[in-house]
Amino acid sequence: MNENEIIKIIAKTLNIAESSINMDSSADNVDEWDSLGHLGVLVALDKAFDGKLAGIPAMATADSVSKIFSVLKENSFI
């Protein structure tokens, strides 16, 4: 799975346009990325990675695109 596909998943989960998401997007600057929205993102990504993300506690606080990419890279998912 590449970074563009992950951005698609995040945008779809938050119900916003894919074009409005970039590396700087986060819970701080996307209204829909609130605490419940973040849980939705975690679930969607866990599904996309066949249920393998639940064992990575750092995902819980990865509330920006750059942090998500960083955690996924650290754990060799992308």
Partner 1 sequence: MKVAINAIEYYLPSKTEDGSNLKEQNPDWRIDDIQAKTGINIRRISAPNETAADMAVLAAEKLLYSKVDIEDVDFLVFVTQSPDYLLPTSACILQDRLGLKKSCMAFDVNLGCSGFVYGLAIGGALIEAGIARSGLLICSDTYTKYIDQDDRTCRPLFSDGAAAAYLTSSTYETLGPFEMGTDGSGFNNLIVPSGGARSFELNERKLSMAGSNVFMFTMDMVPKCVDALLAKAKLNIDEIDLFVFHQASKLVIDNIIRRLELPEEKVFTNYQDIGNTVSASIPIALSDVENAKRLNNGDQVMLVGFGVGYSWGGCIVHWNSGA
Residue linked to tokens 């969607």: 44
Q: Is 48 in the site for partner 1 (CB under 8 A)?
A: no
Q: Which of 1, 18, 39, 66 binds partner 1 (CB under 8 A)?
A: 39
CA atoms of 60 and 78, how far apart (whole Å): 18
Q: Is 47 in the site for partner 1 (CB under 8 A)?
A: yes
CA atoms of 12 and 70, how far apart (whole Å): 20
Question: What single DSSP character describes residue 37?
Answer: H
Q: Is 17 in the site for partner 1 (CB under 8 A)?
A: no
List residues near partner 1 by CB under 8 A.
34-36, 38-40, 42-43, 46-47, 51, 54-57, 59-61, 63
